[in-house]
Amino acid sequence: MLVVTRFEVPEAESEEFLAQAQRALAAFAARAGYIQGRIGRAADDPTAWVLTTEWAGVGAYRRSLSSYDVKVEAAPLLARGRDEASAFELLVRDQDTRPSDRA
């Protein structure tokens, strides 16, 4: 499972946002089922940021959201995210195709 959360962050808040995102990523990384995560900023728009995490499955991600550390460190950050779909099922990884769990 891939979770992509996009943010609009005023340039004046960039440093604070990055530190908050790093704490959130560390909280996620401590949870079972976490695979990897990244924080990025758009090359052509310094106010556009993204936090991506990859999980063993939807259950691992959902369970992580109920942990105390994630509630403290990540929930406030995620609340700043755009109101749009953010959780995606992985169907192809490095040319390996897998069936949808939705089928």
Give per-residue burial for 51-73: e unless 16+ CB within 10 Å, then b: bbbbbeeeeebeebeebeebeeb
Residue 64 pLDDT > 80, yes or no?
yes
Query: Quick one: fold of 2-97?
Result: Alpha-Beta Plaits (3.30.70)
Which one, of 9, 58, 57, 64, lies nearest residue 31 by Cα?
64
Do the Cβ atoms of 52 and 37 come closer than 8 Å?
yes
pTM (two decimals) = 0.88
Residue 10 pLDDT > 60, yes or no?
yes
What is residue 43's predicted lDDT score, i.e. its pLDDT?
95
- 96 vs 52, which has greater pLDDT? 52
- Where do the structural domains in the chain lie, given as residue ranges? 2-97
pLDDT in tens, 34-51: 999 999 999 999 999 999
- 58 vs 95, which has greater pLDDT? 58
